[in-house]
Structure 1
């Protein structure tokens, strides 16, 4: 709890991300909308988290994302308050840049509306129970410290980690969470008008879980679940179904070691492809479970004071 309270994103941080100079860049685009997405909006961000943004263009302004981002990159280079704009040609291309004079980094994409829908679905899960946000933040810090939280190096993305935590909390004998997609499909319909997506979660009544486990017990159980109980060779993690699905012969999961079903079937499937990375991840889960089960002390797997100091120094 101390770690969460020190590292969680504050309302002032969110305001800064919403109203920073980047927002002013698009004032002239009256038929475009800029959305803050990712951990800065879904409630799972740290004070040092980067800001993800999606620029949604109207149909008559839509074009190739690379072309639009290249145009914006040239514009950004002329602005005194933007530093080092880089065009990253990923599956979802992004323009990455910094606010000059600060450590605040932005990732801007074009028309990735699935990311907007995922943001508000994750936000609904994050606030469904008071234990969700603290345990996810601590697990993300643990995974980063254990060097298994870097998708660019073949390990787990933060998005994948979050889905793994939610899935675990759904599959306990007394679940901490339900499947919100199954219980409230009308609030998370992929066909809902984009402007209405932020309102969808406001119509969900509070979820009251009969599970009263402490954060410590849930953290230990999370490590045990993926170190011992979960069958990586035959199951796919699914938050949508609130259970583990059988890994069939679908091309999506063939020759993949960690398989996590995304929120929407048309989204990119999350998986770990390299056996060596998979073994490293499994080892970290097993070793951290052994240490935490033995010592019952978070410092045995994560240097809490060091993490808090690092977070404070980056603000």
Structure 2
């Protein structure tokens, strides 16, 4: 099959190759805009440290750990992506259970201390209570919650998975931006579309069914259930070691 291009007749294979090359170039330009620079990382780290100082000034939260999670930790965030932060209340190295009403109270106390420093601070009493606010840098917003330990380990799992193949990060960023452009990236709306984690799982599935396979089944990376196994803070190290060993084994098998 041949096609006319200007005054030339080209075979279909060349047309397809040219189209693929053009698309690849466009996607690379989009990724250049989406990917955060070093200063974006530094700004987020600065905001997290600033929040740590504020939390330490709240009597009911003194001693709590302030940890980020979500796309920032998994390195799957865009330069204007939000930052998810968990305030972890621990008891003797073990995960504490905090009742819903107490979470609301703690976030309300934190809100009082943040209002004079940050902007647009509002408490959202959702199923998982969130304190949403804009950072002092006015570049991105922060979602602050209490004891999201499972979210933290899931974020790190995605980071470890992305080390298998660098194309995973690029694909996730492109899919998330595509979903945003088509307004199907907000699970909190009445329409109930996808959240970022769901979109990332779709990309993982795509990488699992490619020929040849790029990603293994997730059970081959971690066979346990994080929610059942994450009892103490030190168990995170055990999960990390298990994932690292399984990923290393998978990459070695692929290279044979």
Q: Same fold (TM over 0.5)?
A: yes
1:68 to 80, 83, 106: 106
Structure of larger gyration radius: 2
Matched, 1:110 2:146: yes
Q: Deviations over 1:217-273 (max 9, x none)?
A: xxxxxxxxxxxxxxxxxxxxxxxxxxxxxxxxxxxxxxxxxxxxxxxxxxxxxxxxx
2:85 to 39, 50, 53: 53
Q: Which residue of 2 aligns with 1:95?
A: 131
State the distance in 2 between where 1:155 and 1:189 align.
Answer: 24
C-alpha spacing 1:24/1:53, structure 2 compared with 1 (3 Å): same
Q: Deviations over 1:163-189 (max 9, x none)?
A: 111112112342210134434447968
2:52 to 13, 16, 23: 23
Q: Shift of the alpha carbon at 1:110?
A: 0.2
Q: Shift of the alpha carbon at 1:83?
A: 0.7
Q: Deviations over 1:54-106 (max 9, x none)?
A: 000124985521111111112222x2x31121111111110001123512210
Q: Which residue of 2 aligns with 1:83?
A: 119
Q: Which runs of 5+ in 2 are unaligned?
A: 1-27
Q: Shift of the alpha carbon at 1:111?
A: 0.8
1:168 to 203, 206, 213: 206
- 2:150 and 2:226 in contact (8 A); partners too: no
Q: Which residue of 2 aligns with 1:205?
A: 248
Q: Which residue of 1 aligns with 2:174?
A: 138
Tell me the secondary structure at the aligned position of residue 33 of structure 2.
helix
Q: Deviations over 1:12-36 (max 9, x none)?
A: 3223222322232123555311111
C-alpha spacing 1:183/1:6, structure 2 compared with 1 (3 Å): same
Q: Which runs of 5+ in 1 are unaligned?
A: 212-315
- 1:129 and 1:207 in contact (8 A); partners too: no
**TM-score normalised by L of structure 1:** 0.59
**TM-score normalised by L of structure 2:** 0.71
Cα RMSD for the two superposed structures? 2.8
Tell me the secondary structure at the aligned position of residue 126 of structure 2.
coil
Tell me the secondary structure at the aligned position of residue 194 of structure 1.
coil
Q: Which residue of 1 aligns with 2:32?
A: 5
Q: Deviations over 1:170-217 (max 9, x none)?
A: 123422101344344479685243355378155542754869xxxxxx
C-alpha spacing 1:174/1:101, structure 2 compared with 1 (3 Å): closer
